[in-house]
Amino acid sequence: MPVHPIPPLFDENSEILILGSFPSVKSREEGFFYAHKQNRFWRVAAALFGCPVPITIDEKKEMILRHHFALWDVIHSCDITGSSDSSIRNVVPNDLSVILSAASIRKIAVNGQKAAQFYRKYQQNITGVPAIVLPSTSPANAAWSEARLIEAWRAALFD
Protein backbone atom coordinates (compact mmCIF):
# COMPACT_ATOMS: atom_id res chain seq x y z
CA MET A 1 0.00 0.00 0.00
CA PRO A 2 1.67 3.27 -1.10
CA VAL A 3 2.05 5.95 1.57
CA HIS A 4 1.94 9.64 0.64
CA PRO A 5 5.60 10.68 0.29
CA ILE A 6 5.11 14.45 -0.08
CA PRO A 7 4.80 16.74 2.93
CA PRO A 8 2.12 19.43 2.82
CA LEU A 9 3.18 22.73 1.29
CA PHE A 10 1.99 25.69 3.37
CA ASP A 11 3.11 28.43 5.70
CA GLU A 12 1.38 30.62 8.28
CA ASN A 13 0.23 32.99 5.50
CA SER A 14 -1.55 30.31 3.45
CA GLU A 15 -5.23 31.15 2.91
CA ILE A 16 -6.45 28.73 0.23
CA LEU A 17 -5.81 25.01 0.55
CA ILE A 18 -5.96 22.94 -2.64
CA LEU A 19 -6.26 19.20 -2.13
CA GLY A 20 -5.76 16.48 -4.69
CA SER A 21 -6.69 12.85 -4.09
CA PHE A 22 -3.35 10.97 -3.98
CA PRO A 23 -0.08 11.65 -5.87
CA SER A 24 0.39 10.07 -9.28
CA VAL A 25 3.18 7.56 -9.86
CA LYS A 26 5.25 10.37 -11.42
CA SER A 27 4.62 12.70 -8.46
CA ARG A 28 5.57 9.94 -6.01
CA GLU A 29 8.78 9.31 -7.99
CA GLU A 30 9.73 13.01 -8.14
CA GLY A 31 8.56 13.78 -4.62
CA PHE A 32 6.36 16.72 -5.50
CA PHE A 33 2.81 17.57 -6.48
CA TYR A 34 1.53 17.41 -10.08
CA ALA A 35 4.82 16.19 -11.56
CA HIS A 36 3.33 14.56 -14.66
CA LYS A 37 4.09 16.90 -17.56
CA GLN A 38 0.58 16.46 -19.00
CA ASN A 39 -1.09 17.56 -15.78
CA ARG A 40 -2.10 21.17 -16.30
CA PHE A 41 -1.98 22.23 -12.62
CA TRP A 42 1.20 24.34 -12.83
CA ARG A 43 0.14 26.06 -16.06
CA VAL A 44 -3.30 26.84 -14.61
CA ALA A 45 -1.80 28.15 -11.35
CA ALA A 46 0.73 30.32 -13.19
CA ALA A 47 -2.06 31.79 -15.35
CA LEU A 48 -4.15 32.53 -12.24
CA PHE A 49 -1.23 34.29 -10.59
CA GLY A 50 -0.03 36.05 -13.75
CA CYS A 51 3.47 34.65 -13.60
CA PRO A 52 5.69 32.30 -15.62
CA VAL A 53 5.12 28.57 -15.31
CA PRO A 54 7.52 27.30 -12.64
CA ILE A 55 9.91 24.54 -13.66
CA THR A 56 11.82 23.45 -10.55
CA ILE A 57 10.33 22.23 -7.29
CA ASP A 58 11.77 25.30 -5.54
CA GLU A 59 10.10 27.60 -8.10
CA LYS A 60 6.80 25.77 -7.64
CA LYS A 61 6.99 26.04 -3.84
CA GLU A 62 7.86 29.72 -4.03
CA MET A 63 4.97 30.52 -6.39
CA ILE A 64 2.39 28.69 -4.25
CA LEU A 65 3.53 30.25 -0.98
CA ARG A 66 3.96 33.76 -2.43
CA HIS A 67 0.29 33.69 -3.43
CA HIS A 68 -0.86 32.42 -0.01
CA PHE A 69 -1.89 28.98 -1.20
CA ALA A 70 -1.29 25.57 0.35
CA LEU A 71 -1.12 22.15 -1.34
CA TRP A 72 -1.66 18.63 -0.12
CA ASP A 73 -3.82 15.61 -0.78
CA VAL A 74 -6.85 14.08 0.89
CA ILE A 75 -5.30 10.61 1.15
CA HIS A 76 -2.33 9.52 3.29
CA SER A 77 -2.23 5.93 2.04
CA CYS A 78 -4.34 3.63 -0.10
CA ASP A 79 -4.31 0.73 -2.49
CA ILE A 80 -4.03 2.18 -6.00
CA THR A 81 -3.30 0.80 -9.45
CA GLY A 82 -0.85 3.10 -11.19
CA SER A 83 -2.21 6.64 -10.93
CA SER A 84 -5.88 5.76 -11.42
CA ASP A 85 -8.15 7.51 -8.91
CA SER A 86 -10.94 5.12 -9.84
CA SER A 87 -8.84 2.21 -8.52
CA ILE A 88 -8.30 3.73 -5.05
CA ARG A 89 -9.31 1.43 -2.18
CA ASN A 90 -8.58 1.11 1.56
CA VAL A 91 -8.15 4.83 2.13
CA VAL A 92 -6.38 6.27 5.15
CA PRO A 93 -6.93 10.06 5.06
CA ASN A 94 -4.32 12.74 5.75
CA ASP A 95 -4.65 14.73 8.97
CA LEU A 96 -5.48 18.20 7.66
CA SER A 97 -5.19 19.71 11.14
CA VAL A 98 -1.45 19.93 10.47
CA ILE A 99 -2.25 22.76 8.04
CA LEU A 100 -5.49 24.09 9.51
CA SER A 101 -3.99 24.65 12.96
CA ALA A 102 -0.95 26.52 11.63
CA ALA A 103 -2.27 28.57 8.69
CA SER A 104 -5.11 31.04 8.13
CA ILE A 105 -7.02 28.85 5.66
CA ARG A 106 -10.25 30.55 4.56
CA LYS A 107 -11.09 28.27 1.61
CA ILE A 108 -10.57 24.60 0.92
CA ALA A 109 -10.73 23.49 -2.70
CA VAL A 110 -10.36 20.06 -4.24
CA ASN A 111 -8.82 19.30 -7.61
CA GLY A 112 -11.42 17.07 -9.26
CA GLN A 113 -14.44 14.96 -8.41
CA LYS A 114 -12.57 12.03 -6.85
CA ALA A 115 -10.72 14.33 -4.45
CA ALA A 116 -14.12 15.88 -3.63
CA GLN A 117 -15.64 12.46 -2.97
CA PHE A 118 -12.81 11.45 -0.62
CA TYR A 119 -12.79 14.85 1.13
CA ARG A 120 -16.54 14.66 1.79
CA LYS A 121 -16.26 11.09 3.07
CA TYR A 122 -13.18 11.46 5.29
CA GLN A 123 -12.58 15.10 6.18
CA GLN A 124 -15.52 17.45 5.80
CA ASN A 125 -17.13 16.34 9.08
CA ILE A 126 -13.82 16.95 10.86
CA THR A 127 -13.00 20.32 9.27
CA GLY A 128 -16.58 21.56 9.13
CA VAL A 129 -15.67 23.28 5.86
CA PRO A 130 -17.33 22.32 2.57
CA ALA A 131 -14.78 22.18 -0.23
CA ILE A 132 -15.01 24.09 -3.48
CA VAL A 133 -14.91 21.47 -6.24
CA LEU A 134 -12.60 22.48 -9.07
CA PRO A 135 -12.46 20.71 -12.44
CA SER A 136 -9.50 18.34 -12.47
CA THR A 137 -6.25 19.45 -14.08
CA SER A 138 -5.45 15.79 -14.83
CA PRO A 139 -4.88 14.84 -18.46
CA ALA A 140 -7.68 12.30 -17.91
CA ASN A 141 -10.07 15.28 -17.83
CA ALA A 142 -9.66 15.87 -21.56
CA ALA A 143 -13.13 17.42 -21.90
CA TRP A 144 -11.77 20.58 -20.27
CA SER A 145 -9.38 22.77 -22.26
CA GLU A 146 -6.66 24.59 -20.38
CA ALA A 147 -8.38 27.93 -21.05
CA ARG A 148 -11.66 26.60 -19.65
CA LEU A 149 -9.85 25.24 -16.56
CA ILE A 150 -8.23 28.63 -15.93
CA GLU A 151 -11.59 30.39 -16.24
CA ALA A 152 -13.34 27.95 -13.88
CA TRP A 153 -10.54 27.97 -11.29
CA ARG A 154 -10.39 31.79 -11.35
CA ALA A 155 -14.16 32.10 -10.83
CA ALA A 156 -14.15 29.56 -7.98
CA LEU A 157 -11.07 30.75 -6.11
CA PHE A 158 -11.16 34.51 -6.60
CA ASP A 159 -14.87 35.31 -6.32
The reported pTM is 0.95
Strands 132-134 and 107-111: parallel
Name 133's bridge partners: 110
Q: Of the listed 39, 94, 125, 141, which one is catalytic? A: 39
> What are the chain's domains?
16-157 (3.40.470.10)
* Residue 113 burial (CB count, 10 A): 15
pLDDT tens readout for residues 99-122:
999 999 999 999 999 999 999 999
Q: Check if 141 is active-site.
A: no
Q: Is there a contact between 52 and 38 (Cβ–Cβ < 8 Å)?
A: no
Answer yes or no: are the C-beta atoms of 45 and 64 closer than 8 Å. yes
**pLDDT (tens digit per residue) in 25-78:** 899 899 999 999 999 999 999 999 999 999 999 999 999 999 999 999 999 998
